[in-house]
A and B are shown apart, each in its own frame.
Chain A
Amino acid sequence: MVPPFGSRATRETSRETMARARARASLMPDLLVEARRVANNVFAGWHGRRKRGVGEDFWQFRPYVTGENLAAIDWRRSARDDHLYVRDREWQAAHMVWLWVDESPSMLFKSSLATVSKQSRALVLAFAMAELLARSGERLGWLGVSKPIVSRHAADKLAEALLAAPVQTEIPDGSTVRNFSEVILFSDFLQPVEDTVSKLKEIAQRGARGHLVQLVDPVEDEFPYSGRVEFSDPETGQKLTAGNARALRENYETLFSDHSRHLRSIAESLGWSYTLHHTNRLASDALISLHMYLMHTRRGAA
């Protein structure tokens, strides 16, 4: 008898995935979170934002405008000619980013077509993001687990906090999320869509911008079963028998893609980003698109 496609993987701890996440993160360029929306954020980061603002490094001289603070005038420069100059500094700012990984039983699913379980991949992605963001000096937190941390080693600290914390199976309410923060949620989003939507809206109402990463095992997408198959749900234990699984394939594919499309439309209506990631693809794929979403100023959303 050929073994079934799907199997239940053991839960991976944050410690195991850290190493792999580091490897991923080392491949990425320094992450510069788009800081347009954090104008009032006072926490200083280490990396310049390539525009003038609060910071330590010199950015430019510009002519003094009447009404400006006189203390801002750079007298040394102004003494060279007849104009007054103000020394601008490069704006350096940190940003608050919340991470969260779904660890429900369905996330432990791994098929023979995939290399890792969804949970493993999600943790790798989350820690890789944490590593990148910590490198850029952002403030990081794990929803429902830890408070915001600003540290070069924020990713390690998050991992330790996660070890101690209970298993995360539901999207947290986001009571700690505040305005102008970024929330990155890693899940397969197989819970009833209504529950997911209400949770997401709650977080969105707190003024945070979200990024949804839906992890999909290739088996869930392609439905390669044929013949007589008994399917069981890892969450509820419910069982269903299909007499001719192959005949269901097309309809199932339609339904599943509808599900993903629905999620995407919700994310777009909230102004959030949505990334679909298959566990048989490289983790870097998702990382790059997340990176892109965090970097880019969205056109028209001033």
Chain B
Amino acid sequence: MNPVSSRPLCIVVAAMGGEGGGVLTDWIVEAANASGLAVQSTSVPGVAQRTGATTYYVEIFPIPLAELGGAEPILALSPSLGEVDLIVATELMEAARSVTRGWSDPGRTHLIASTHRVHAVAEKMEMGDGRYDEDHLRQAIVAGTGGRLLFDMEQAARSAGCIVNAVLLGAIAGSGLLPIAPETFEERITAGGKAVESNLRGFRLGLQAARGEVPAAPPVSHKRPHAEVDGAGLVAVQLGFLPAAARALAEEGVKRLVAYQDVRYARLYVERLRSLAAATQDEAVLARVARHLAVRMSFEDVIHVARLKTAPARMERIRAEIAARPGQPVVVKDFLKPGLEEVCALMPGFLARPILAAAHRGGWADKAAWGRQVNANGIWGFASLRLLAGLKPWRRYSHRFAQEQAGIEDWLAAVADAARLSPALGLEVAECARLIKGYGETWRRGTANFQRIRDAVVAPAATGLWPLPFALDAIANARAAALADPDGGRLDRTLAAIAGKAAA
């Protein structure tokens, strides 16, 4: 047997359609060619679409062709398990996918990947939060690889004005893992002749990162605290009865409700928290309720939407989001389609109730809606939204207001009852408020689901007849089921299963 101990360097490039994975692979291949090395790449580029995961595979033989005495290495067309030297991924989950497929080996594999997330459809379409836990992804990557370079290359690419592939190439060049000089990689970008300047900027960012100058991660907090409003301070000082964590949240709640309605409404919020605090001193329960109560009390109605659509900061946010340059006029149109429920919500109960009852009987409650595209930064569009937002004082007399307050009192009572039995149970009941959100059908579905869980699970659990672990599980499962599918099939099955078990 010929004692050629050298094996090819194996490189996996994991990308998604449209991210330039093919170009990146070509750059690597051309750089290896230019260095006199045997190289081969293959791909399964899917079809012409721009979203699916795409894998490119490259093998480079580390001994120059000229030194092989006319022999040619046989290079493989797909990676073998545990036999990849370098994994390059354009996104965090694709990096983890390559690792958990078994291509990497902690003793051999180096990984270069961007840490930003591009969420898969399955993650995006969940009714609550379907995002895969990023910490788990990172832990898997760390456990499965030998060395790593991880940073937000998407951010770096944006700052360089290129796409992520140029940054990755720089990181590969700087890693020193391939027997190819960084300049040779750089020359491939120049030779390509496309977007050379921005690609070189991105390349250098990657190169620097590989040499230890990883760009600082952007600030982690994405939260936008509520703006200061007149009168909120005076209400917030009354929150002294709350533990610190709950108080911080409640201060936000107070600001939110003063802006949403008025100081009097914010005081009601404080009073509601105070009566709950009389039932339980549990910090977690109070914090959770402080959060959900403020959200529930600022329920989404036409007045609220009109206020947010005409908020002064909104246009600036939009201009920044669409990268409009100063001096470029921007015309914003909003898609508003209030349904019968939304309109009736503004009427006093004695008018709204019969209309809604008739509509539900007639089966046209869902169908009656008034679709409008409003030019929100046009004079008439803005004026009419402003006028709607100005109906705020009227809200107190509306059908929806009364309906919501009753619902909130009922939920608070349930939380208090449960918390008296056990703080953990109180927390579970409090968390059910998450189900009620949104507009139109989303709101109807959420409210109905909440009510079903309230009647079928929360009420019996609050009697204290169910064993506590069973009660906790039942509420959590029911809540998860309600968020699992919009048709309610999972919730039906889960509630039936809970009833069955409870009876047994």
**A is bound by B:** no
